[in-house]
Amino acid sequence: MNIDIKAINIELTPAIKEYIEKKMSGLSKFVEKWEKTGAVEARFELAKISNHHNKGNIYHAEANITLDGELIRAEASGEDANTVVDIVKDVIKAEVIKLKDRKEEKR
């Protein structure tokens, strides 16, 4: 699965990019049916949303995956970039499984 990664107000280091790719590539086994037809588009955005907090950084992650014309979207905010990436991945995974089950029930 090809993932477009965008960073806002934060430097996209190789470590962060690799972490996002590793986590999101775990979804490949759930979307392989759609990947064969080329009907998968994935976008991931990680942002540092505030520079004026007194303590800690606030990160916002958002993922959008289009499967066969249906948009699956997840977002999370928190103090740790890796944690918000994990939360977004888990939400996307659950939604992909729901979509897959729904499509199979229709057949």
Q: Which two tokens stand for residue 33?
A: 């049916």
Written out in words, the top-level CATH class of the domain with range 3-106 is alpha beta
Q: Which amino acid does the sequence have at 77?
A: S
Task: Indicate the SS3 state at residue 69.
Answer: coil
Instruction: Please state, in angstroms and rounded to a whole number, the distance separating the CA atoms of residues 21 and 10.
Output: 17
Whether the CB-CB separation of 47 and 56 falls below 8 Å is answered with: no
Summarize pLDDT for 9-19 with one digit per residue, the tens. 888 899 999 99
Q: Which two tokens stand for residue 21?
A: 């790719």
Rounded percentage of the chain residues whose pLDDT exceeds 70: 91
Is the confidence at residue 80, as pLDDT, over 70? Answer: yes
Domain ranges of the chain: 3-106
| First and final C-alpha spacing in the chain | 25
Confidence of residue 55 (pLDDT cuts 50, 70, 90): low
Overall average pLDDT of the 23-47 stretch = 85
Between the CA of residue 24 and those of 43, 50, 53, 90, 105, what are the distances in Å? 10, 25, 29, 9, 26
Average pLDDT of the residues of the chain: 86
Instruction: Please state, in angstroms and rounded to a whole number, the distance separating the CA atoms of residues 66 and 59.
Output: 24
